[in-house]
Amino acid sequence: MAEYEAVIGLETHIQLNTRSKVFCSCKADSWEDPQNTNICPVCTGLPGVLPVLNEDVVEKAVLLAEAMHAQVQPISYFDRKNYFYPDLPKGYQITQFDKPIAVGGHIDLPIPETADPEGKGYIRNVRIHKLHIEEDAGKTKNARNQRLVDFNRCGVPLVEMVTEPDLRTADEAAQYLIRLRQLLRWLGISEADMEKGNLRCDGNVSIRLKGSEVLNQKTEIKNVNSIDSLRDAIRKEIDRQIREVEKGNEIHAWTLDWDEDAGVLRKMRSKETEADYRYFREPDLLPLMISAEWKREILKEFPERPLDRRQRFCDQYDLPVYDADILTLERGLSEYFEEAVKEYQGEPKKVSNWLMNDVLRMIKEQRLEPRAMQLTPAFLAELLRLVDAGTINITTGKSLLQIVQDTGKSPAKLVEEQGLAQVNDDAQLGVICSKIISEHPKEVSAFQNGKESLIGWFVGQVMRESRGKADAKMAKDILTDLLNK
């Protein structure tokens, strides 16, 4: 049986999170609004209206281009793509056809072991073909035999980014979307939520014999609303194509619609692929000029890329990839980590452990913003130092996390106020231990008769008595001493 490999390219539409639409001053985000309320003469294509380009759209597109190592073009042009559809009020879409804002680029996708059939994990280099700016269309929905049209979304700014057909598995495709989503949120240019439609993806899939360089006929997959759906759909399509080819059938240039509920792909009657869009330069807009100066201005505070930071955390802080990945999932969290490490001045892994588990859990459950937490990186560092010094024990430390977050007081202050300091005073501890021993004669004799595991129980009792403040190790030593007398 011949071995096949899949050849996959992805086309993503990214809705930018600017305040206003790309060519008019309506709101860019009208997810919550009632139909046809977020409209104006321009985005509804009234006679006589003209588009005016939103400066922030250009700046956000440049940020994305830079993040993908693409070349921003000093001059790019807008074009009209002409066709009839009810969600397209002007009867044409303003897009960029042959001279887009950025060309080229790449991303080195880390493919984790779980997504690698060989279980090792590897890097997949994906080249980018181009990025361009365009406007979104409205929405239509079916009701009885009619279509209901809502123009709220017309004119929302989109960046379309097209990869070269460099992906080879459905898992790789999913990883691309995961990393893209991370990057978009990292740069702060899009909410990138596929369920809400601000990140959309179409996939182009073909297959060929392993080792071949040929590009065979591809099909297009549309209407996937989540990363999992994309993975499923691509897997199914690869399987289908292999089946067809094994049977000796041809692959046709179908457009396939993903049915989420049924979990199957259906062939669409591709009305649009038959159309000739008759692209020509948009005469109502001037060429988009991005001077070297403007580009410098936009990129002035360009952040470290998420994957670069991930690598750096491994290198600089000696962290395992697992840790670095979690800590750099979200930009705010990664910045928090570094700040905390700076303050702590101790082993970064310790900070990582606390951050990845307890603190991250808090952040998720309470929907906190790392940058805006009352439990600041400095406070976390302070907490860790208190535990290191033995002033408080780990249990106390962990419970303090929430209290610092709630009150905003420094850990040291709280320890002082609430007398949370670890009880590690010989005499004090000795008193408590003696008390426990005198109160539980049965357990004492059990212990003395050989049940040595009871020491743990005694320590527990001391901890309870001291309201968690006892230095557990010290307590254990004292108890052992007393019990063996």
Nearer to other proteins, 61 or 404 (CB): 61
Residue of 5, 11, 13, 56 that binds other proteins (CB under 8 A)? 56
Site for other proteins in 251-270 (CB under 8 A): 257, 266-269
- Our finding on whether 435 is near other proteins (CB under 8 A) is no
Closest distance to other proteins from the beta carbon of 111 (Å): 33
Nearer to other proteins, 25 or 226 (CB): 25
Site for other proteins in 14-43 (CB under 8 A): 18-20, 25-28, 34-42
Token digits of residue 453: 């595991």
Nearer to other proteins, 251 or 321 (CB): 251
Q: What mask, x for binding other proteins by CB under 8 A, covers residues 161 to 200?
A: ----------------------------------------
DSSP state of 214: -
Closest distance to other proteins from the beta carbon of 201 (Å): 20
- Our finding on whether 243 is near other proteins (CB under 8 A) is no
- Our finding on whether 44 is near other proteins (CB under 8 A) is yes
Contacts of 86 (CB under 8 A, 6+ apart): 138, 140, 147, 149
Region binding other proteins by CB under 8 A among candidate stretches 145-153, 165-173, 375-383, 430-438: 145-153
Residue of 54, 190, 229, 391 that binds other proteins (CB under 8 A)? 54
Region binding other proteins by CB under 8 A among candidate stretches 84-92, 127-135, 233-241, 341-349: 84-92
Q: Give me the helix-helix angle, 331-344 and 377-388, nearest 10°.
A: 40
Nearer to other proteins, 40 or 482 (CB): 40
The answer to whether the CB of 230 falls within 8 A of the CB of 224 is yes
d(CA 380, CA 41): 53
Closest distance to other proteins from the beta carbon of 5 (Å): 26
Nearer to other proteins, 240 or 440 (CB): 240
Residue of 4, 45, 97, 112 that binds other proteins (CB under 8 A)? 45
Dihedral class, residue 406 (left if φ above 0, else alpha if ψ from -120 to 50, else beta):
alpha
C-alpha triplet 18, 71, 285: angle, nearest 5° = 55
Is the dihedral angle over the CA atoms 134, 140, 146, 148 positive or is it negative? negative
Closest distance to other proteins from the beta carbon of 150 (Å): 6
Closest distance to other proteins from the beta carbon of 136 (Å): 16
Distance (Å) of CA 132 to CA 62, 76, 109, 327, 430: 10, 9, 22, 31, 73
Chain CA centroid to CA 149, Å: 32
Nearer to other proteins, 47 or 119 (CB): 47
Region binding other proteins by CB under 8 A among candidate stretches 81-89, 213-221, 317-325, 390-398: 81-89
C-alpha triplet 215, 257, 13: angle, nearest 5° = 75
d(CA 232, CA 177): 14
Distance (Å) of CA 268 to CA 219, 220, 224: 11, 10, 14
- Our finding on whether 284 is near other proteins (CB under 8 A) is yes
SS3 sequence of 260-297? CCCCEEEEECCCCCCCCCCCEECCCCCCEECCHHHHHH
- Rg for the chain, CA atoms, rounded: 30
d(CA 38, CA 27): 7
Task: List contacts with other proteins (CB under 8 A).
Answer: 18-20, 25-28, 34-42, 44-58, 80, 82, 84, 86, 89-92, 142, 145-151, 257, 266-269, 271, 275-276, 278, 280-281, 283-286, 289, 291
